[in-house]
Amino acid sequence: MRIACLQFAPKVGDTSNNITRADAVLSSADPDDLENLDLLVLPEMALSGYNFRSQEHISPHLEPTASGASSQWARTAARKYSCTVAVGYPERAETVGPEPDYYNSLIVVDSNGETLANYSKSFLYYTDATWAREGPGFYGGRLGTLGQTAMGICNPYKFEAPWDAYEFAFHILRVRANLVILSMAWLTHDEATSFLSCPSAPDLSTLTYWVQRLEPVIQAGSSEETIVVFANRSGVEDEATYAGTSTVIGIKDGEVSVYGILGRGVEELLVVDTEKPPFGKIINRPTVPVDGEPGAPPAPAGEPEDEPPKDAGPEPTQACH
């Protein structure tokens, strides 16, 4: 499978210029990389920006379900590159009541521009909780020619849950997904200047954290590979600094292979071919046994929403080194 992640640095509330920035990344890519793509994934709320302060702040930028600027961009790109495209956007969903519902959503269209899925984020971060409703649950199902797919947005688990609850990882196993799409606006809490002083370097502590959250999938030891796409954004919006580090990994036989990874601060197109050998592997040392495994400790008490559990391993937000 040929997969592309478009990592860039959109600005909050500047849809027109964000579209220009996304198009510029594609235009600067090697034309050969854009041939025979199967999947192109953009970050969470890619064209609207992410760091909205309130429902009033985001209101002018909400888009009708599967028919706003982000959806149109996705359809245009899908037809141009003959591939499936996934784009995060702020959704305004009409209801039978007097007021519409607002969601942090991900639209997926096929190579003909037809809608395959419109998934709404299930577990909200405090930023989008100021304006969005929670969706009904994670996505799991066949996604056109891509096969059985699980989808989540950003941090698809609640920080107040026990570390070993692994909500999204167990969802991947339940739906028997061979492809996992994660559209993200993942933050670092490090100071922006120091964090971005080496923009081409991936934030390996962030990648380690993401992989740790998939521990049940790794421990399942399946002989069939599960491809996981982490499509994150880069850049700074006000006080928010994003971790970049978009990555495509494969999980098979209890091992984690890396097919491609971007730096923390770059605006680039990552293109990988999962039919070719990976360029490296991640040595996986689980910090907490999966609940139900022999020797698993009792689930620890939940931590505050914006702080991972104390025994969760490396923080996902360390400076580059």
Say whether pLDDT at 223 is over 90: yes
Helix (H, G, I), strand (E, B) or coil at 216: helix
pLDDT in tens, 166-194: 899 999 999 999 999 999 999 998 999 99
pLDDT (average), residues 205-224: 96
* 44 in catalytic set: yes
User: For residues 60 and 274, what is the distance between their CA atoms, to the nearest angstrom?
Assistant: 40
pLDDT band at 304 (very low <50, low <70, confident <90, very high): very low
Domain ranges of the chain: 2-282
Tell me the per-residue pLDDT of 47-101, one tens digit each, with 9 for 90 and over: 999 999 999 999 999 999 999 999 999 999 999 999 999 999 999 998 877 788 9
Q: How far is CA 237 from CA 9, 240, 313, in A?
A: 9, 5, 28
Residue type, 160: E
CA–CA separation, 179 vs 86, rounded Å?
13
Mean pLDDT of the chain: 88
Q: Which of 5, 63, 91, 154 is catalytic?
A: 154
Tokens 């008490």, located at residue: 301
CATH classification code of 2-282? 3.60.110.10
Sequence-ordered alpha helix ranges (H) in the chain = 15-28, 55-58, 69-81, 167-175, 192-195, 204-212, 215-220
Residues with Cβ within 8 Å of 216's Cβ and at least 6 positions away in sequence, in order, are: 166, 169, 170, 172, 173, 290
311 Ramachandran zone, left/alpha/beta (phi>0; psi -120 to 50): alpha
Strands 39-41 and 84-93: parallel
Alpha-carbon distance of 315 to 208, in angstroms, equals 9
Between 101 and 287, whose confidence is greater? 101
Distance between CA atoms of 262 and 255, rounded to whole angstroms?
Answer: 21
Q: How far is CA 17 from CA 20, 47, 265, in A?
A: 5, 8, 19
Q: How far apart are CA 40 and CA 74, in angstroms?
A: 9
83 given a catalytic annotation: no
Cβ neighbours of residue 221 closer than 8 Å, sequence gap 6 or more: 253, 254
Model confidence pLDDT, tens digit, residues 230-256: 999 999 999 999 999 999 999 999 999
Contacts of 20 (CB under 8 A, 6+ apart): none
- Would residue 158 show up in a list of annotated catalytic residues for this protein? no
pLDDT tens by residue, 121-143? 988 888 898 999 999 989 999 99
The pLDDT assigned to 192 comes to: 95
- Out of 5, 63, 91, 121, which one is annotated catalytic? 121
Q: Is the pLDDT reported for residue 311 higher than 70?
A: no
Of the candidates 44, 63, 215, 267, the residue annotated as catalytic is 44
